Amino acid sequence: MIAPVLLAGASLACSGSHSGAGRGGGRSASVAARSIDEVLAAHSDSLLALRGVVGTAIALCDGERCIKVFLADSNADTKGRIPPRLEGYRVVVEVTGTIRPR
């Protein structure tokens, strides 16, 4: 009696909706999307290599976690090189000016 109940529970768990669906940029639902922390870690170096980019971070944008890219100025060329999304996560550009340690 217990084995059929466990099997039914496992089937339901596997057939349920995936909360990360849609974040994988077209990936199969069977492949888990990377967390926003992993996505930022994977893309920070390439973003920081762009002229005018002075920082990256994870932030809260309209109640949802997003990736922020900080710019030294509002250069349209630099803004145009920043993608609006990275692996399904929203990217928000913010002009902060030059960032220097104290």
- pLDDT for 26-78, tens place per residue? 444 555 589 999 999 999 999 999 999 999 999 999 999 999 999 999 999 99
CB 30 within 8 A of CB 2: no
What pTM was computed for the model? 0.67
Instruction: Looking at the chain, list the stretches that DSSP marks H as alpha helix, in order from N- to C-terminal side.
Output: 2-15, 36-48, 76-81
DSSP 46: H
Which of 93, 92, 94, 86 minimizes the C-alpha distance to 36? 86
Q: How confident is the model at residue 100 (pLDDT cuts 50, 70, 90)?
A: confident
